[in-house]
Chains A and B, each alone.
Chain A
Amino acid sequence: METLVKLFKNNIRQYGMIIALVVIIIFFQLITGGLLLEPINITNLILQNSYILVLAIGMVLVIITGHIDLSVGSVAAFVGAVAGIMMVDMHLHPVVAVIASLIVGALIGAWQGFWVAYVKIPAFIVTLAGMLLFRGLTMIVLKGQSISPFPAGFQKISSGFIPDLGSGNVVAIAAGVICTVIFVINELRDRQSKKKYNFDVLPGGLFILKLVIIAAVIMAFAFMLASYAGLPNILILLLALILIYSFIMNKTVMGRHIYAIGGNEKAAGLSGVKTKKVTFWVFVNMGVMAAISGLIFAARLNAATPRAGTNFELDAIAASFIGGASATGGIGTVFGAIIGGLVMGILNNGMSLIGLGIDWQQGIKGLVLLAAVAFDIYNKKKSSVS
């Protein structure tokens, strides 16, 4: 028990947000009389939050480098509008239109990255300008009107499910099993190498407990999806992005350089990190992620509208901070941002289920953001004293 308490205290930052998520889930599960974790609602949760989660992945990278991007909502709307014009008005093939849209996103990211990295204008200002600029451009290209409908193939991005082989959605369950196995093997190998180098590891019993809990959560999740409509396409995309970006941030030179710049830009520069170039590419990446988000949203709505993406940036930023990213840079994880995004998403969903108005929802989300960051800072202070 003592080791458990100590362990918890040392890792409270890491576990804090997960515990918060679990508490929120349990709370809404009870208060909605079990509606929250109904299979249909779980599937809805994924579909509803996918575009914010995609933005959060890009945003946490920007925040780790010590910057911010306020323009992503407007950029998402603009790219959605451009995609709408290409597919609905110009009848381009969806694949061509999607690729072109991603390039538009990259170019917008490059535009903002140029001002931030090379001209050294604070990102807050550059992206505030971008927020206005791209919202304006969205309205101009759409002439203030919505465009619809999108081709059916394109809509499938957001509303489609992986086709099933037999009855009972075997695919979803099989995917769950594969994920569990990969996860367990990965954890075991990591533990082995950590032990070899004398690093701190969880005590054996707790380690097994952790594996069992996580495996159970994955499998339960898979069964839930299977019992409704199976694996949503968007979930596959989301998981792929999470894995790819976690890999980049943890295992590649690029990722290490991003953390180094946020941790101490001057020291990184004097250690041979090309700080301007890396910052520039982080913004290009953010542009692409905003484009993906915009496409997902347009496909889900089956329309490109001038008001799309409003306040997306705030949700993405909040997700990153709730997930433990530091406002001064250098700290944060893709996984954390996803957890933060889920906290926001479940709050939204749960409050809607119990019939709270949008006014109360906004206020409560604001308080949650403040509380999460205050908790984080409190912990940091406490750990620096000891």
Chain B
Amino acid sequence: MSEYILEMRNITKAFPGVKALDNVNLKIREGEIHSLCGENGAGKSTLMKVLSGVYPHGSYEGDILFKGKTCEFKNIKQSEELGIVIIHQELALIPYLSIAENIFLGNERSRKGLMNWNETIAGSRELLEKVGLNEHPNTPVGNLGVGKQQLVEIAKALSKKVKLLILDEPTAALNEDDSENLLQLMLEFKKQGISCILISHKLNEVSKVSDSITILRDGKTIETLDMKSGEVNEDRIIRGMVGRDLTNRYPERTPNIGDVILEIKDWTVYDEVRADRKVLDNVNLHIRRGEIVGIAGLMGAGRTELAMSVFGKSYGRNVSGTLYKDGKPIENNTVTQAINNGFAYVTEDRKHYGLILIDDIKRNISLTGLSKLAKKGVINDKQEILVAEDMRKKLKIKAPNILQKTGNLSGGNQQKVVLSKWIFSEPDVLILDEPTRGIDVGAKYEIYTIINQLADEGKGVLVISSELPEILGICDRIYVMNAGRITGEVSREEASQETLMRYMTKTGGPKHGNVS
């Protein structure tokens, strides 16, 4: 049995209402690079959290065997002691501390509580050499680029005598050179006998370095592919990732599509923090009246950034490009301006950006359109109640009355409140960012019905979603984004999960996939 360094057997992890992992099996051989593939929400991160002890033993079912011994981790510390180290997508470094301090954070080189700085510096120098980072250990981490920060994280992992290194989307924020560098480093570690689990959406990288690939879908293990034996290419992986049955989970609709209502031209946006990084690069798209247009893409593709920069420049800096509404150029410099131009943006994070959780349903619904309820700045209470009641009935918000705090509602009902708010502002263009995230199936259907109604009223609807079946199920036309660019445009008829996934993982050239 010593062939495998790690075996996870029949892991089942349930959250209230959802089975995130359902009898998942994962076997990692000693000294191999094993990739974990699957769509967003397939259960990859949950599985890794079970492995590393973030979800402690007892909160899941199944067994974890590390080097043939059963493990019952109660916290991350215990898994790290055995040499299982996870590096998350969002780096966990403290920017104001030096490289050396970060490397030994929580694991300080000290005696009786006093720091031994010489050992700290010497130790980190040694580790930095191993990861090929040529920086002085006293440099504050905040002064380093993301690529180098990633290397510091890996050095930190090495300091914990890592046996099994887990990298969650390590190259998502890196440029090509840094990514290549990192992949080489992984191959180097492999020679030294360190096993690696790689979670990545970039299938070209996955097929390049992996020895085997396990595919997860909807919380289940679909298959484990051996990269050495057979002819496994990217298409083969994609088929495994998306091959699910599409039952009729989407309401029927006959689209009635009119003139172009919104056109986005040459939209380029730079990162808010790192001013030299393009988040969006020459994005061009258009939406017609009565049309539901989807934007597919992986995390970090720039979809939300596109939506927010269009909606009153709520994201990014140096926004350039032109917006045309009904053929006329418009300016959306502030949120207020965007709302007045008939835009609505339903955010992907309704708790932090969409709702005021300590306020009731009524106040949340009326917030955006308050001026319509007010005369000379004084709110007409009765009219406000009528509007909120009307929305509650129309959108079937399940609550005893409109004075319920939105923080106490379920996800689906919260989302309906957010939609109500924007419907009340009477927009022409709605941008819906992950409109059904974290919502149960029944409520999803209701949300789709609302979206369809909005389109049928002649509004233009832009839906951003990470769930491909959803995009395929409700959209008339789909744009695909990757790394800040539109990499493809597919009509409803031509769209399939495979084609979308191919565009989503397409790296390199700004080629415009003109399919329609």
Contact = CB atoms under 8 A, between A and B. Distances in A.
Interface of A: 193, 197-200, 251-254, 256-257, 259-260, 263-264, 266-274, 330-331
Given A254-B377, A264-B356, A274-B334, 17 more contacts: A197-B402, A252-B374, A252-B377, A253-B377, A256-B363, A256-B366, A260-B356, A266-B352, A266-B353, A267-B353, A267-B355, A267-B356, A268-B356, A269-B314, A270-B353, A272-B425, A330-B358
Interface residues on B, range: 35 or more
Q: Chain B CB within 10 Å — which of A200, A256, A272 has the most? A: A272
Contacts of B352: 264, 266-267
Contacts of A260: 356, 359, 363, 367
B367 A199 contact: no
A197 B383 CA distance: 12
Contact of B336 (A193, A199, A254, A272): A272
B232 interface: no
Contact of A271 (B379, B401, B403, B421): B421
Contacts of B356: 259-260, 263-264, 267-268, 330
B314 A263 contact: no
Given A198-B401, A264-B352, A270-B353, A251 B381 contact: yes
Q: Chain B CB within 10 Å — which of A268, A270, A330 has the most? A: A270
Interface in B285-311: 311
B367 A197 contact: no
B335 interface: yes
Contacts of A267: 352-356
A253 B359 contact: no
A269 B401 CA distance: 26
B347 interface: yes
Contacts of A269: 314, 335
Interface string B341-383: 0000101000011111111000100111011001001110110
Contacts of A256: 363, 366-367, 370, 379
Contacts, number: 83
A197 B379 contact: no
A273 B366 CA distance: 12
Contacts of B347: 270
A197 B334 CA distance: 36
A-B interface, 3 closest residue pairs, ranked by CB to CB distance from nearest: A263-B356, A272-B339, A264-B356
Given A256-B363, A331-B358, A272 B374 contact: no
A155 to B, nearest CB: 36
Contact of A263 (B357, B377, B385, B389): B357
B404 to A, nearest CB: 11
A178 to B, nearest CB: 23
A270 B345 contact: yes
A194 to B, nearest CB: 9
Given A259-B359, A330-B356, A271 B314 contact: no
A280 to B, nearest CB: 15
A271 B334 CA distance: 11
Nearest to B386: A197
Given A267-B353, A270-B354, A253 B381 contact: no
B465 to A, nearest CB: 19
A267 B377 CA distance: 21
13 contacts: A193-B381, A193-B385, A197-B389, A251-B378, A253-B370, A254-B377, A263-B357, A264-B355, A267-B355, A268-B367, A270-B311, A271-B368, A272-B368
Contacts of B401: 197-200
A254 B401 CA distance: 25
A253 B371 contact: yes
A65 to B, nearest CB: 13
Q: Chain A CB within 10 Å — which of B314, B347, B378 has the most? A: B378
A200 B374 CA distance: 25
A242 to B, nearest CB: 18
A116 to B, nearest CB: 19
Contacts of B389: 197
A155 B339 CA distance: 51
A257 B379 CA distance: 12
A252 B378 CA distance: 4
A330 B379 CA distance: 19
Contacts of B382: 193
Contacts of A268: 356, 367
A270 B370 contact: no
A274 B336 CA distance: 8
Contacts of A330: 356, 358-359
Given A253-B371, A260-B359, A272 B377 contact: no
Q: Chain A CB within 10 Å — which of B314, B366, B367, B371 has the most? A: B367
